[in-house]
Chains A and B, each alone.
Chain A
Amino acid sequence: MESLTNKKKVLEQKPMTLLERMYLPAIVKGMSITFMHMFRKKETVFYPEVQREFSENWRGMHSLKRDEQGRERCTACGLCALSCPAEAITMISAERKKGEEHLYREEKYAAVYEINMLRCIFCGLCEEACPKEAIYLDGPIVPADYLRKDFIYGKDKLVEKTIEGVNA
Chain B
Amino acid sequence: MKLAIVIDGYYFLEKFGLITVIFALSLVVAMYSTLAERKIAGFLQDRVGPNRAGWGGMLQPLADGVKMFLKEEIIPAESSKFLFIVGPSLAILTACIGSAVIPWGDTIVLFGRTVDLQVTDINVGVLYIFGVVSLGVYGIMIGGWASNNKYSLMGAIRAASQNISYEIAMGLSIIALLMMTGSLSLRDITNQQHGFWHEGWFSWNFFSQPLGFLIFLVCAFAETNRTPFDLPECETELVGGYHTEYSSMKLGFYLFSEYINMFVSSAVMSTLYFGGYNYPGMDWVMEHAGPTWGPLVGVAALLGKIFFFIFFFMWVRWTVPRFRYDQLMNLGWKVLIPLAIANIVATGLWMTVKATYF
Instruction: Give the interface of A toward B (CB within 8 A).
Output: 27, 30-31, 33-35, 37-38, 40-44
Contacts and interface: CB of A to CB of B under 8 A. Distances in A.
22 contacts: A27-B319, A27-B320, A30-B319, A31-B316, A31-B319, A31-B320, A34-B44, A34-B318, A34-B319, A35-B315, A37-B43, A37-B44, A37-B45, A37-B46, A38-B44, A40-B46, A41-B46, A42-B46, A42-B47, A42-B48, A43-B46, A44-B48
Interface string B305-318: 00000000001101
Contacts of B45: 37
Given A27-B320, A30-B320, A44 B47 contact: yes
Nearest to B40: A38
Interface residues of B, number: 11
B46 A31 contact: no
A156 B315 CA distance: 54
A31 B47 contact: no
Contacts of B320: 27, 30-31
Contacts of A30: 319-320
Interface string B292-334: 0000000000000000000000011011100000000000000
B329 to A, nearest CB: 15
Contacts of B318: 34
Given A30-B319, A31-B315, A43 B47 contact: yes
A35 B40 CA distance: 10
A31 B314 CA distance: 11
Nearest to A29: B319
Nearest to B43: A38
Contacts of B315: 31, 34-35
Nearest to A33: B319
Given A31-B315, A38-B43, A41-B46, 7 more contacts: A27-B319, A27-B320, A30-B320, A34-B319, A37-B45, A42-B46, A43-B47
Contacts of B316: 27, 31
A151 to B, nearest CB: 29
A70 to B, nearest CB: 43
Contacts of A41: 46
Contacts of B43: 37-38
A140 B192 CA distance: 68
A41 B45 CA distance: 10
B334 to A, nearest CB: 11
A37 B44 CA distance: 5
